[in-house]
Structure 1
Amino acid sequence: MKSVAPRQALLGVMVVVVVVLAWLVVRAAQGPTDPQGRTGSAAATTLGGRVGGATAPATTQGTDPVSRLPWVSESALPREARDTLTLIRAGGPYPYPRSDNKTFDNRERLLPDKTRGYYREFTVVTPRSGDRGPRRLITGGSGEIYWTDDHYASFHRVREGT
């Protein structure tokens, strides 16, 4: 007689994945959220950007001495980027499994020069975008995190925990 435990375990995992993905879709539909919890246009204005397009997060003073990129506080990132950071820290699941947690080649040479495979790329859901959109978080092998909201044309170094 066959055991149903493996099927039940698989069904449980599938339910969790569906719930997480549904939560991400709902959060993405709400638009950007600023640290005060405002969504939509007010949040985009607070973050220094515009609704529906690339947003420039408020930066933390100074420049990272290693990458020479401006710092951005984790709390100043759009809600979707903070949600993606949570997924990265949990090891997934990611909204675009074919594209997320894959090698980022740094072809633009805007990040510090490292060997191939050092950087990993993660999609940040862009509200009202019909595709993956331009927003990404890039992680480095030493734990550093970079943010781009313009599909690799520019980067900020993320100051975690701020």
Structure 2
Amino acid sequence: MRGASSRRAAPWLWLAALLIVAWLLWPRSPGVEAPAIRTAPAAGAADPGPAPSPPVADASPAPSADTGTMAGLPAEARRTVRLIHSGGPFPHAQDGSVFGNREGHLPRQPRGWYREYTVETPGLRHRGARRIVTGGDPPQAWYYTDDHYETFRRFDPGAPRP
């Protein structure tokens, strides 16, 4: 009787192993890393230390290529800057809300220092990924992102226009 129950358990072990292998080999979405698997060093070999971390983008915001201007920003960003300078009205309820900087891509500041504003994307029926994030009140720091907060470009909007 004991031999029969061990034969029934074996397919479950194979199924569990198959599921684990399938999970490890399943294609991931871009930006999602598979878990790192580290093997023990061979006998007598030196321990290579911790596995290398994947490259991380520089967290400090890079200044624009032509420092001090809005050159290179889309026309919709210039319209958003004018709205920010004039205090609105803004097209989206979220505009002017606190940006938490949870990713830590911008310099650390107290909560509430950063505000976010939508930069319209022609052809989209939703807010899209483009934003302007300002720091301070009135804004002292200005950042543009076109990839939903993954990277930022610092810029200077200049003096408000009448």
Q: TM-score, normalised by structure 1?
A: 0.55
Aligned residue in 1 for 2:80: 84
Count the aligned residue pairs.
Answer: 95
Report the CA distance shift for 1:68/1:152 in structure 2 as closer, same or farther (over 3 A). Answer: closer
8 Å contact kept, 1:124–1:135: yes
Q: Is the 8 A contact 2:81 2:157 kept in 1?
A: no
Which is further off, 134-143 or 115-124? Answer: 134-143
Matched, 1:153 2:120: no
Give secondary structure in 1 for the equivalent of 2:71.
Answer: helix
Identity of aligned residues (%): 48
8 Å contact from structure 1 (residues 75, 82) kept in 2: no
CA distance in 1 between counterparts of 2:96 and 2:155 reads 18
- The partner residue of 1:69 within 56, 62, 66 is 62
Map 1:53-68; keep pairs closer than 5 Å: 67-68=60-61
Aligned mates of 1:138, 1:130 — CA distance in 2: 21
4+ residue runs of structure 1 moved beyond 4 angstroms? Answer: none
Q: Which runs of 5+ in 2 are unaligned?
A: 1-59
RMSD: 1.7
Larger radius of gyration: 2
- For structure 1, which runs of at least 5 residues remain unmatched after alignment? 1-66
Give the structure 2 partner of residue 113 of structure 1.
108
